[in-house]
Structure 1
Amino acid sequence: MPVTLNGQTYCQTAEACARAAISKNTFLRWVRQGTFPDVRYRDRKGWRLFSSDDVERLRARVQEVRETQQS
């Protein structure tokens, strides 16, 4: 469910991971390991909010990992 904050639309973790074609568990592991930086905003429940830029960075990281694995 999209959330609007300061005129920008954000999505939650499940939607961002689906857009980036990665599992939520993999994303959370990457954050814990420091492989991917955590997002800047959270909602009042503490859930992560991803901007379109965050989703694009995640997609790029997924692509980078997949290319490395194929080499």
Structure 2
Amino acid sequence: MPISIDNHTYYMIAEACELAGTRRNTLLRWIREGRFPDVKIRDRNGWRLFVEGDIERLRAEVNKIKRIERE
């Protein structure tokens, strides 16, 4: 469930991955490898919070890989 703070909507990593069509472990590996930039926003527990722009970039990366796999 998205989190709304000061008229901004944030998504936890599982939600962001579901919306983008990838798995959590895949995203964490991409972040670790530098293939996808880590988000700058975290909650008080240190959990990553994704905004719509992050999800769009992630979706674009997922779609790019799916295109390559189909070729």
TM range, normalised to the smaller chain? over 0.9
Letter in structure 1 aligned against 2:68: T
Consecutive aligned runs of 4 or more in structure 1 exceeding 2 Å deviation? 4-7
The CA deviation string for residues 4-30 of structure 1, in whole angstroms up to 9 with x for no partner, is 234211010000000011010000000
RMSD across aligned C-alpha pairs, in angstroms?
A: 1.0
Q: TM-score, normalised by structure 1?
A: 0.92
- Whole-Å Cα distance in 2 between the matches of residues 46 and 4 of structure 1? 17
The structural deviation recorded for 1:50 is 0.5
Residue 57 of structure 2: aligned partner: 57
Q: How many aligned positions are there? A: 71
Residue 69 of structure 1: aligned partner: 69
Residue 39 of structure 1: aligned partner: 39
- Whole-Å Cα distance in 2 between the matches of residues 68 and 24 of structure 1? 21
- Whole-Å Cα distance in 1 between the matches of residues 10 and 69 of structure 2? 30
What are the ranges of 5 or more consecutive residues in structure 2 without an aligned counterpart? none
The structural deviation recorded for 1:40 is 1.6
Structure with the higher fraction of residues in strand conformation: 1
What are the ranges of 5 or more consecutive residues in structure 1 without an aligned counterpart? none
